């Protein structure tokens, strides 16, 4: 069955996922230095600069420490921080925890990974604009022939998001609804590197 988003209002929330324990990094990757900010602070700043109406930041592992390190940006009027006490159950638990804060008042949710330092406000706005104009229920950035992040979903997909489990996120929805996805190519080169290991961080920092 083909779904369209024409009945949805254009009220969009961003959902930043940053609850993990950074086991492959060996230390808190959320607080790794990136310029004058932390890795998470950099992504959070760009997301808050975008046209998203609301931003939900989902934290879990060492919640208090990470929240304290973010400082003044926590006072931003668009931002709400949510604690996912079930973060060990995988990324799906963070999507669901954030969705509970979004679904009442927002008809679209853009999922943004908290370890992708090259996500910019302009990239978020590009995806948002193209997706809304497409009238399709799912959208994502495309790198060459592959779907990448960020990704975005209409309210009509919230039921599917609530059924997610484990650490695979929403990738299966892109398969199930492959004919209903708006894939958006960035206007300029976009490095969709994510920082998972010390080697990733060293390579990124060069």
pLDDT tens readout for residues 17-34: 999 999 999 999 999 999
Q: What are phi and psi of 153, to 5 degrees?
A: -135, 145
Q: Which pLDDT does position 168 carry in this prediction?
A: 84
Looking at residues 183-204, what average pLDDT do you find?
A: 94
Q: Percent of the chain at pLDDT above 90? A: 88
**Cβ burial 106-121 (10 Å sphere, 16+ → b, else e):** bbbbbbbbbbbbebbe
- With cut-offs at 50, 70 and 90, classify the pLDDT of residue 4: low
pLDDT in tens, 49-61: 999 999 999 999 9
pLDDT in tens, 37-50: 999 999 999 999 99
pLDDT in tens, 78-92: 999 999 999 999 999
Q: How many CA atoms lie within 13 A of 125 on its CB side?
A: 9
Name beta bridge partners: 55. 14, 79
* Strands 12-18 vs 54-59: parallel, antiparallel or unpaired: parallel
Q: Which pLDDT does position 9 carry in this prediction?
A: 56
* Strands 138-143 vs 181-184: parallel, antiparallel or unpaired: parallel
7 pLDDT above the threshold of 50:
no
pLDDT in tens, 125-149: 999 999 999 999 999 999 988 899 9
CATH superfamily of the 12-205 domain: Spore Coat Polysaccharide Biosynthesis Protein SpsA; Chain A (3.90.550.10)
Which residues, including other chains, have CB under 8 Å from residue 179's CB and lie 6 or more apart?
2
* Whole-number Å distance between alpha carbons of 1 and 43: 36
Average pLDDT, the chain: 94
């Amino acid at each position: 069955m083909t779904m369209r988003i024409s009945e949805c209002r254009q009220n969009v929330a961003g959902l930043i996922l940053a609850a993990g324990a950074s086991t492959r990094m060996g230390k808190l990757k959320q607080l790794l230095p990136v310029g004058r900010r932390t890795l998470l602070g950099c992504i959070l700043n760009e997301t808050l600069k975008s046209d998203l109406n609301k931003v939900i930041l989902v934290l879990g592992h060492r919640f208090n420490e990470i929240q304290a390190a973010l400082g003044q940006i926590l006072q931003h009027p668009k931002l709400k921080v949510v604690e996912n006490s079930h973060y060990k159950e995988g990324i799906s638990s963070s999507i669901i925890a954030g969705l509970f804060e979004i679904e009442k008042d927002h008809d679209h949710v853009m999922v943004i990974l908290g370890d992708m330092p090259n996500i910019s406000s302009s990239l978020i706005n590009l995806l948002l604009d193209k997706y809304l104009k497409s009238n399709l229920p799912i959208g994502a950035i495309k790198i060459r022939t592959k779907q990448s992040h960020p990704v975005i979903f209409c309210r009509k997909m919230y039921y599917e998001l609530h059924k997610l489990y484990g650490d695979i996120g929403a990738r299966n929805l892109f398969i199930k609804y492959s004919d209903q996805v708006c894939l958006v190519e960035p206007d300029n080169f976009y490095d969709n590197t994510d920082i998972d290991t010390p080697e990733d961080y060293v390579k990124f920092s060069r």
